[in-house]
Amino acid sequence: MEQQWIPAIATIAIVLVIGTTLVLRGPMGKALAEWIRGWSKTDEQWLAFKAAKQGIALGATGADAERLFAEVDELRHRLTEVEERLDFTERLLAKERQAERLAPPR
């Protein structure tokens, strides 16, 4: 009876290996490899790698670096504004819900 399971287990194992291979050879695998590659790099090396991938030569001109730093600062500012708006909206919705719960009896 135990030997009846051996072909089923072998088939499942083969299908899993083939499926995993196909997934990891595609864009998901490349993204995973890039993510893992970033673990072993120092921040400077990782930034240089990412910049080279996007066609920006780090250290070539200070103007490019300054432009990128300005863009990062702008994005941080915009993110802060969005977080403030989200907090405000959450407080507003919480007030409405509490007002409904605490409505005076009729």
pLDDT, average across residues 48-73 = 73
Residues 104 and 53 in one domain: yes
Q: What is the pLDDT of residue 75?
A: 94
- The domain total for the chain is 2
The pLDDT tens digits for 15-55 are 999 999 998 898 998 888 888 877 766 667 767 777 777 76
Indicate the range of 7-11, 42-46, 77-81 predicted with least confidence: 42-46
Question: Is the pLDDT score of 59 beyond 70?
Answer: no
Residues 58 and 102 in one domain: yes
Residues 106 and 61 in one domain: yes
Distance CA 15, CA 27 (A): 20
Residues 67 and 99 in one domain: yes
Higher model confidence: residue 58 or residue 95?
Answer: 95
What is each CA distance from 14 to 6, 53, 69, 103, in whole angstroms? 12, 36, 49, 63
Residues 23 and 52 in one domain: no
**Which range marks the domain in which residue 91 is found?**
42-106
Residues 48 and 27 in one domain: no
